[in-house]
Amino acid sequence: MVRLEALGGHDVLQTYCNSISQSAQESARIIRQLLQLSRPATMELRRTNLRAILDEAASIMRFRLRAAEAGLRVSIPEGSMDILADSAQIKQVLINLMINGVDAMEHATRKELQVRVEAQGEWAMVLVADTGHGIPADKLNRIFDPFYTTKSVERGTGLGLSVCLGIVRQHHGEISVKSVPGEGTEFRVLLPLARSNEQGKPEGHIPQENLPRAPLAMVGAAMTPRLDVLVVDDEEYITSLVQELLRSYLGWRVERVHDGRQAIQRLESASFDLVITDLRMPGLDGFAILNWIREFRPALLTKVLVITGDTGSQSLDRELSELGVPALKKPFTPAELVSQCRGLLPAS
């Protein structure tokens, strides 16, 4: 894809490549949802402003709302409304509910999505209501079941609301639904408000997925220093892809190796500004590389990015969190890789 774009591309071939890429991303999304149902990802609970989460969710939905010619009405009290939550997961809940609302209004005469937030005692209540076709009473008690959906096959997998239910319950909250056929549907989410003495995990760095991303066309070598990067993965096509992306978009020098032993040998004999490594490899795996770096090149540990297809493993997430190393889940887009790599650089 990268070389094809650089050469101006062939319209038909580029269309096929785009379709393959989109299909892979959609498959990965479904797999992540399935894994979250069976083994939810480790949460990072922090004292979080619910208004900020809602603002991000509404921003992400802006183009979808515009394409559907639907309006959005948001109501939230002035001042701070803090919850103790994993902001990325609560944002996922809000986006899923808003997407459902937009889809339900496809053939509605009036298309208005309402999101209202209010405090109810020790709870923050979030209401997401649409003016769509509604849900028949005989189907209403099944909508949180995995794989059950009222949408057409191309519109949904029946996993979104199951994931929402799991996330809300992990946060010790509740989610309920009320619907009137022909008038619309409303979901109510209750989340515990953070008490004055609750802080959760210190805020620290902002997760990369919450940072605004510049279009790739704007991310060039002039914006970042020229770096030497070591890429480690037993799959040659992965190392080739990463090498091509970092060369094309950032102008970085990339060296590729395909197992942990080779990686450690290169780290002993040469200096690198950034290390990108897979975790699951035959012989010495990625954790062996990370432990070697921690012991012999500790300053380099903050310049390591893990790429892995092992999605949803709580033990893996915990080990990486203890090492302070970020992870990028396969398959990833060029924008995600570039954003993560640039996020490891010191602020200029």
How far is 105 from 162, CA to CA, in rounded Å? 21
Cα–Cα distance list, 271 to 78, 238, 287, 341 (Å): 52, 22, 20, 17
Please list the pLDDT of the chain residue by residue as tens digits (348 residues): 555 555 455 665 666 666 566 656 655 654 554 454 444 555 677 899 999 999 988 988 888 899 889 999 999 988 778 998 888 889 889 998 999 899 999 889 999 999 999 998 899 999 999 999 898 888 877 777 655 455 544 444 445 687 888 888 888 899 899 999 989 999 999 999 987 665 554 333 334 333 333 344 434 444 456 899 999 999 888 888 898 888 888 889 999 999 999 999 999 999 999 999 999 888 899 999 999 999 999 999 999 999 987 655 667 777 888 888 998 887 788 888 988 998 888 754
- The CATH architecture one would assign to domain 214-343 is 3-Layer(aba) Sandwich (3.40)
Token representation of residue 96? 């899923």
| 46-192 homologous superfamily | Histidine kinase-like ATPase, C-terminal domain (3.30.565.10)
Q: What is the DSSP letter of 212?
A: -
Coil, strand or helix at 13: helix
* Centroid of chain to Cα 332: 10
Q: How many CB atoms lie within 10 A of CB 97?
A: 26
Q: Identify which of 214, 208, 246 has the alpha carbon closest to the alpha carbon of residue 227.
A: 246
| Contact in structure between 55 and 24 (CB atoms under 8 Å) | no
CA distances to 64, 77, 121, 164 from 50, rounded to whole Å, are 22, 11, 16, 16
Residue 30: partners with Cβ closer than 8 Å, 6 or more residues away = 157, 159
- Rg from Cα positions in the chain: 22
